[in-house]
Amino acid sequence: MSRRWIVLVGLALVSACGTADPAPTAGSPSQSAAASGDQLCGHLEQIEPQVAAATSPSDARTIVSIQVATIASSNPGLRDAIATQLDTLTTKSCPQTRQAILAKVGADSFADVVKE
């Protein structure tokens, strides 16, 4: 099964899941972004061991793509942040986790990982 196919299926699942708009968050946009970054980083920290255990960059990319799609589908409040600010939020909120995952997948950004 090709990695592109898996990513496309994952993204299709994200699109199909949950049609309701997320509830508005309290506070300023910067507070919401910080909260989104912290939540997103919490999820990435949980998948980091799986990514680290991958036997190849291709396998690691597949894991990251599927997990990011899963995070987005199960956390409607993070969906927009993941779609538009994944790299920005992780650079600010969890640079070490971000770098560890990107090094394993052989990419410079999460945008590169999820678009393939």
pLDDT score, position 96: 96
* Range of 36-40, 65-69, 79-83 with top mean pLDDT: 65-69
pLDDT score, position 34: 59
Higher per-residue confidence, 114 vs 53: 53
Q: Look up residue 36 and give its two tokens.
A: 């989104």
The answer on pLDDT for 67 being more than 60 is yes
Question: What does the pLDDT look like over 17-64, one tens digit per residue?
Answer: 443 444 444 444 444 555 678 888 998 999 999 999 999 999 999 999
CA 73 – CA 18 distance, rounded (Å) = 7
Give percent of the chain above pLDDT 70: 68
pLDDT score, position 33: 56
- pTM confidence score: 0.67
The domain ranges of the chain are 29-115
Burial class (CB in 10 A: 0-12, 13-18, 19+), 45: middle
The answer on pLDDT for 66 being more than 80 is yes
Mean pLDDT of 107-113: 87
CA 18 – CA 1 distance, rounded (Å) = 27
CA 29 – CA 41 distance, rounded (Å) = 18
